[in-house]
């Protein structure tokens, strides 16, 4: 059996003249260190140094586990985010790896994730046949992440015997396991400066060779689109919280963000559903219609959702045909012009969708002969009248998709996210005890959607915080899965919190599957995948029949190695950290 290899002298990377012990222009900084396992030389990449990529000749044959050690310690005994882009020479593009911090109050208490400023954090990346392969690293080239430092302390290669190789191969995706859904709701554009073909490939590289089947990808915020649309209004450079300039750069580079995103997703083996979030206006100074709401909202104040007293809320109302028609035309563009694989609407945010508008109150009066404005939102009759307008919108979407699908000779699916444990503050506690009741409170009549075949993928956006195993919310999940039995609707359940070790993801996944979930969804996937030790397990969670036997798998994906010396100084002493403030 081959021996485990610690590649810890990183001055072995090429080109050698791109590495120095000082802060040379266009050079990575080498720093000596020591852990119990031996001595090494780590590398730092600083954002201001215009660094070239580095290549490490691995000079090995056969299969290995690849684990990467990164030092996140910083001044004043603190922990700092650092970002590493890494690939094997046979990989299409780079993977992204960063700090796996967590908050015990929000995410749960996981002692194995604890580490200190003087520790090296090791994360399992992947397994591969390394015959003839090199390892390449680089600093992020664009976006907010390019402002971060890069570090690599060592590469650990663990040889795999035949049993280990077969176990790894058994974890690879198959037709039955492609039941995961990734959600990119728009935050990654500025994060990585996504504006080149390689950037879009890197967006979805984490989904390659995984159980992920669909990626929901933000392409509209209400009337504002994140690509040059013929229907919507292209985002301003200051839009989507200051990220709009990245999309303008993408267009200057000769790319259409929606077109290149679909192509990149397909290259990585997943379908792409463009996503719209029905956003309203924001608080000043981000309140300008050029950034949120656009010309459509500015020109049609009469189309806003209103309170019972007639005062406007921040959101356009789907009760108005003009609003519904706009969204139907926008989604038609997605599937007709871009051949998107499906469409996605977020109903898990941006409330209300329909409220006490005059025509809604008139519809209520026709049925009940009462003034709806004098009734509270919790009145079920009020909820059903409001929901009838939103259901009509989904009927119009389905009709349009069938029209386009007939011409294109394909079926075009829908995906709608609905809120559970995540509603406006005026929802009564009693209503929140039921998932279906919570949806109806928000004008989302899920039973009718399923009955009429309006929803193909129902993503239950289930908010859960703190440590849990998923069993407490099984009754809410079963409300949806019992309805979807023997229908075309597939129920996917979002796994929260966002930051957990593999063992906890496994427990929750098993609970959700036991409650009848057809698949699992991951909100903010772009904020999860660079947590390498966790993502390596997440991407296998479509193996529902194997999870019971995978107890312990992933427990060693994250390790901590305390530094004994760094830059010639002993660690663990009273003055190991600078005391200069």
pLDDT for residue 292: 86
If pLDDT is split at 50, 70 and 90, which confidence band does 104 have? Answer: confident
Q: What is the mean pLDDT of residues 173-192?
A: 95
Q: Which residues are CB-contacts of 283 (< 8 A; sequence separation ≥ 6)?
A: none
Residue 382 in contact with residue 364, Cβ under 8 Å? yes
**Domains present along the chain, CATH in parentheses:** 5-170+557-570 (2.60.120)
CB 435 within 8 A of CB 479: yes
Instruction: Give the mean pLDDT of the chain.
Output: 96
Q: What angle do CA 220, 221, 227 make, to 5 degrees?
A: 35
With 80 as the cut, is the pLDDT of residue 75 above it? Answer: no
The single-letter DSSP state of residue 14 is B
What's the chain's Rg over C-alpha atoms? 26
Region of poorest pLDDT, from 159-163, 178-182, 574-578: 574-578
Instruction: Look at residue 1 in the predicted model and tell me its pLDDT.
Output: 64
Residue 581 has pLDDT above 90, yes or no: no
Contacts of the segment 278-285: beta carbons below 8 A, 24+ positions apart: 278/222, 278/315, 278/316, 278/318, 278/345, 278/346, 278/347, 278/349, 278/350, 278/353, 279/221, 279/222, 279/224, 279/315, 279/349, 279/350, 280/222, 280/313, 280/314, 280/315, 280/316, 280/350, 281/314
Q: Does residue 78 have a pLDDT over 80?
A: yes
Confidence of residue 100 (pLDDT cuts 50, 70, 90): very high
Confidence of residue 342 (pLDDT cuts 50, 70, 90): very high
Q: What's the confidence (pLDDT) of residue 516?
A: 98
Among 85, 9, 80, smallest CA distance to 41 is for 9
User: Over 57-80, what HEC string results?
Assistant: ECCCCCEEEEEEEEECEEHHHEEC
Who wins on pLDDT, 225 or 576? 225
Q: CA 96 to CA 83: how far, in whole Å?
A: 7
Percent of the chain with pLDDT over 70: 100
């Amino acid at each position: 059996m081959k021996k485990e290899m610690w590649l810890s002298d990183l001055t072995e990377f090429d080109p050698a003249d791109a590495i120095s012990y000082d802060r040379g222009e266009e050079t990575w900084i080498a720093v000596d260190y020591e852990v119990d396992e031996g001595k090494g030389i780590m590398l730092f990449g600083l954002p201001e140094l215009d660094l070239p990529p580095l290549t490490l000749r691995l000079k090995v044959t056969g299969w290995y586990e690849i684990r990467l050690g990164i030092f996140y310690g910083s001044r004043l005994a603190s922990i700092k985010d650092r970002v590493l882009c890494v690939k094997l020479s046979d990989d299409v593009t780079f993977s992204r790896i960063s700090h796996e911090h967590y908050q015990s109050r929000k995410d749960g208490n996981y002692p194995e994730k604890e580490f200190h400023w003087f520790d090296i954090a090791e994360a399992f990346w992947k397994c591969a046949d390394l015959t003839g392969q090199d390892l390449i690293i680089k600093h992020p080239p664009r976006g907010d992440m390019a402002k971060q430092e890069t570090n690599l302390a060592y590469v650990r290669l663990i040889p795999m015997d035949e049993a280990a190789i077969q176990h790894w191969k058994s974890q690879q995706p198959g037709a039955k396991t492609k039941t995961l859904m990734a959600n990119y709701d728009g935050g990654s554009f500025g994060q990585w400066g996504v504006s080149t073909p390689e950037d879009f490939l890197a967006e979805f590289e984490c989904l390659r060779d995984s159980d992920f089947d669909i990626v929901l990808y933000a392409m509209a915020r209400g009337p504002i689109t994140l690509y040059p649309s013929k229907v919507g209004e292209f985002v301003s450079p200051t839009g989507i919280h200051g990220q709009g300039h990245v999309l303008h750069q993408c267009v200057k580079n000769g790319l259409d963000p929606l077109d290149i995103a679909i192509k990149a997703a397909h290259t990585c083996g997943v379908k792409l559903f463009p996503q719209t979030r029905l956003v309203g206006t924001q608080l000043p100074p981000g309140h300008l219609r050029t950034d949120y709401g656009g010309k459509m909202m500015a020109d049609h104040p009469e189309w806003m959702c209103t309170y019972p007293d007639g005062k406007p809320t921040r959101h356009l109302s789907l009760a108005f045909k003009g609003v519904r028609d706009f969204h139907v035309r926008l989604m038609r563009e997605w599937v007709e012009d871009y051949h998107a694989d499906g469409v996605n609407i977020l109903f898990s945010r941006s409330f209300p969708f329909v409220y006490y508008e005059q025509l809604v109150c008139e519809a209520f009066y026709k049925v009940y002969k009462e003034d709806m404005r004098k009734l509270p939102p919790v009145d079920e009759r009020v909820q059903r009248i409001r929901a009838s307008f939103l259901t009509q919108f989904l009927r119009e979407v389905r009709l349009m998709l069938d029209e386009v699908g007939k011409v294109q000779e394909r079926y075009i699916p829908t995906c709608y996210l609905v809120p559970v444990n995540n509603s406006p503050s005026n929802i009564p506690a009693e209503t929140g005890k039921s998932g279906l009741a919570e949806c109806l409170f928000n004008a989302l009549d899920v039973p009718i959607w399923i009955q009429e075949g309006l929803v193909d993928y129902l993503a239950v956006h289930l908010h859960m915080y703190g440590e849990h195993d998923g069993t407490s919310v099984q009754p809410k999940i079963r409300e949806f899965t019992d309805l979807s039995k023997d229908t075309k609707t597939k129920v996917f359940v979002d796994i929260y919190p966002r930051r957990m070790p593999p063992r906890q993801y496994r427990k929750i996944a098993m609970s959700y599957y036991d409650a009848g979930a057809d698949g699992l969804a991951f909100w903010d996937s772009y904020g999860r995948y660079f947590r390498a030790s966790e993502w390596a397990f997440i991407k296998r969670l479509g193996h529902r029949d194997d999870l019971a036997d995978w107890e312990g798998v992933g427990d060693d994906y994250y390790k901590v190695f305390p530094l004994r010396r760094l830059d010639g100084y002993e660690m663990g002493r009273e003055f190991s950290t600078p005391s200069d403030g």
